[in-house]
Each structure stands twice: as C-alpha cells, then as structure tokens.
Amino acid sequence: MKIKNDIFLKACRREKTERTPVWIMRQAGRYLPEYRKIREKYDFLTMVKTPELAAEVTLQPVDIIGVDAAIIFSDILVIPEAMGLPYKMEEKIGPLFEKTISTREDIDALSAEGIAEKLSYVTSAVALAKKELAGRVPLIGFAGSPWTLLTYMVEGGGTKNFKKAKSFIFNAPEEAHLLLLKITEAVIQYLSAKIEAGIDAYQIFDSWGGVLSKRHYLEFSLPYIEKIIMTIKKQFDTPSIIFSKGANHSFKEMSETGASVIGVDWTTTLAEVRKITGGETAVQGNLDPITLFANDKVLEKEVEKTLADYGNGEGHIFNLGHGILPDVEPSKARLLVELVKEKSKKYHR
C-alpha cells in the first residue's frame, strides 16, 4: 500500500521534502490519557503481547499528536525472553529477570533459533497496525542493541553503574563476544521478520552505548549494530536508525556502518553531527525532553533553535533527544509537532 505521508522515509534517505518530519520517542505511552485508559485494564507485558492492544496504542499518537511516523508499541526485552530469559515488569522498579548470564554455560543455554515464531505476537501487531494505519504514515519497528540487551541479561534488570555488565566485558571478554554474537543473530531474525510483516524503517536502541568508553563502545557495541545493519541490507532496503544515546564520541564511526540515520541526544549539536558525518547520513533529534515542561513561547524558541542548528536542506528528522516523560501534557506534544511542521518549511526551499 502506498504511504500518503512519506516524508519521514524521504528524510531517512535525505531526499527532498517540503518540511522536516517529526515523531517522538515513547510517543505511544503514559502521557496519553487514551493509553492510560488501556493500561488500567492490562499490565504492560500483556499490552506488549496482545497484538490488538499493541496496535491500538501504536496508532494513538498518529491520531492525537499528529506525528509523521508510528512506532510499533513493544519492548526491547522481548528478545532476551525469546532467547530463554523470562522477565517481569515491576511497578516503579522496571524489568526484573529470574535468571541472569554469567558463564559460558549460561550463554550456551540461550537459544537464537526460531525467534520469529516465538515473537509472532510482535509481527502480528505490526501487520495489524499497518492495516489500521491504512497508509497514512510509515510504521517504525525497533530492537535493542546487542550491548544494551547484554546489560539487562547480565545485570538482571536496570542498573546505575553497570558494574556487572562492565565487569563481564573486562573479565570475560570472550564470553561477552559470544553472547553479543548470539544476541545479534536473534535481533537480525527479529528485525527481518518485522520487515516482512510490514515495518517501513527500524531503529536500534542502544540506550546504554554511552556508558562505555569510546574504545569499549567500538569493541562491544557498534560492531554488532553494524553487523545487524549490513546483514539486513543484503535482503531489504529498509532505512535504519542507530540511537546510541550519549555515545557522542563516535558519530563518524556510526555513519560508516551504513546506517541511514543517526539519532542524537540533546547534549550534542546537530550542526556538529552533520559536520562530522559529512552530510552522508540523516540525523534524528534532539530537543531536550524537559523542554515540554517549558512555556509555549520558550518551546517555540527551542524548536526554532533546533531546526536552525541543523540548518538548510534535507536529512533532518525532528525528535526529542530521549523518550517523552509520562507527565507531559498531550497538548504540549501536539504543539511541538505543529511547531516543527510550521517552522521547518523555510529550511526546505
């Protein structure tokens, strides 16, 4: 089905658009009363695992906020679960795994087989969301990066200082690489299945890439992201987005992976990234999510500064520099989207 509003996909390919496309990380989420209404009835993982519910909340921000792309409602931790590590989501704590990984035997016990079948609830949600979108805007799929998934599998949940995960790469680098490779295989199967189910682009969330030194990022995170992108490229021409939050030392190396888009947080300037990558890659970002608590005038000024920071021409996808917070007023998110749509035209003449 032809996509009516395809400026997000055009921007991924640095093609001419009339304005800058905009979507918001975590746009299908708790800040929307319509989402909370469903969430009251079902827990988070039930929503993730029920295609009808996942598809429904995926579409909400398209209708309510007016974004230029939908992103399938899901969770990055479905991959560790499919590999053999079930988890639960604890209120106010976050994900908790029953088992964690620390030895070679633990890694051997994980399976990277039949991932697409095990995660058919995601591909069903994708197919359903695509049908309900009816070509209005593209649908983005996503996966966690191998390094980011490793941190949860080794730590057993969220962490402040990544002591276990980093100790693992320091003290057992061979096992770490073995585990990263196994996760990479699973992610490739998963993203390929999602592409076949209908996603139009995919983002790799390397939420914890930025906690590593540059040397370790280039050894334990980026090569596995690159392997995913290169492998998928052999079969599909689906645009890819890398978002290694905080890994602001390696934009050049990210652009050399063959990714279509580099996502950046608000602590870097878009002009700087554009310069470093030589304009060979599109750039996504990077308004500080807290700007959505500023008054309307300040929000407008900050949107304008972000657009001006990227400057004239193609290849900018507007987004926040991290996920939208649960206590943002939906009207502010809507205003943000309207402002980007209106103020960005002059950069595309």
**Residues with active-site annotation:** 26, 30, 39, 75, 152
* Cβ–Cβ under 8 Å, residues 261 and 12: yes
Which residue in the set 10, 14, 130, 166 belongs to the binding site for a copy of itself (CB under 8 A)? Answer: 166
Position 42 contacts a copy of itself (CB under 8 A): no
- Residue 290 CB, shortest distance to a copy of itself, in Å, is 4
Q: How far apart are the first and last CA of the chain?
A: 29
Nearer to a copy of itself, 213 or 312 (CB): 213
Q: Does 157 bind a copy of itself (CB under 8 A)?
A: no
Per-residue tokens: 185:
């295989």
Give whichever of 206 and 302 is closer to a copy of itself, judged by the CB atom: 302
Residues that bind a copy of itself (rule: CB under 8 A) add up to a total of 34
Cβ proximity to a copy of itself: between 143 and 211 the closer is 211
What does the H/E/C string look like for the chain? CCCCCCHHHHHHCCCCCCCCCECCCCCCCCCCHHHHHHHHHCCHHHHHHCHHHHHHHHHHHHHHCCCCCEECCCCCCHHHHHHCCCEEEECCCEEEECCCCCCHHHHHCCCCCCHHHHCHHHHHHHHHHHHHHCCCCCEEEEEECHHHHHHHHHHCECCCCCHHHHHHHHHCHHHHHHHHHHHHHHHHHHHHHHHHHCCCEEEEECCCHHHCCHHHHHHHHHHHHHHHHHHHHCCCCCCEEEECCCCCCCHHHHHCCCCCEEECCCCCCHHHHHHHCCCCCEEEEEECHHHHHCCHHHHHHHHHHHHHHHCCCCCEEEEECCCCCCCCCHHHHHHHHHHHHHHCHHHHC
Give yes or no for residue 104 binding a copy of itself (CB under 8 A). Answer: no
- Position 91 contacts a copy of itself (CB under 8 A): no
In the region spanning residues 318 to 347, those forming contacts with a copy of itself, defined by CB under 8 A, are: 325
**Quick check: 103 binds a copy of itself (CB under 8 A)?**
no
Measured CA to CA, the distance from residue 272 to residue 265 in angstroms comes to 12
Figure out which of the listed residues 111, 267, 312, 331 binds a copy of itself, where binding follows CB under 8 A. 267
Determine the distance from the C-alpha atom of residue 166 to the mean position of all C-alpha atoms in its chain, rounded to a whole number.
Answer: 23
Stretch that binds a copy of itself, among 126-134, 185-193, 219-227, 293-301 (CB under 8 A): 293-301
Member of 50, 100, 231, 269 binding a copy of itself (CB under 8 A): 269
**Residue 278 C-beta: closest distance to a copy of itself, Å:** 19
Q: Which is nearer to a copy of itself, 91 or 171 (CB)?
A: 171
Tokens read off for 141? 């799929």
Q: Between residues 189 and 268, which has the closer beta carbon with respect to a copy of itself? A: 268
Among 214, 275, 345, 346, binds a copy of itself (CB under 8 A): 214
Contact pattern for a copy of itself over residues 233 through 262, marking x by CB under 8 A: -------------xxxx-------------
Q: Does 304 bind a copy of itself (CB under 8 A)?
A: no
Binding of a copy of itself at residue 268 (CB under 8 A)? yes
Structure tokens at 294: 């500023």
For the bound state, the minimum distance from the C-beta of residue 20 to a copy of itself, rounded and expressed in Å, comes to 18
Residue of 46, 103, 111, 167 interacting with a copy of itself (CB under 8 A)? 167
Residues making contact with a copy of itself (CB under 8 A):
161-163, 166-167, 170-171, 210-216, 246-249, 266-269, 272, 288-291, 293-295, 298, 302, 305, 325
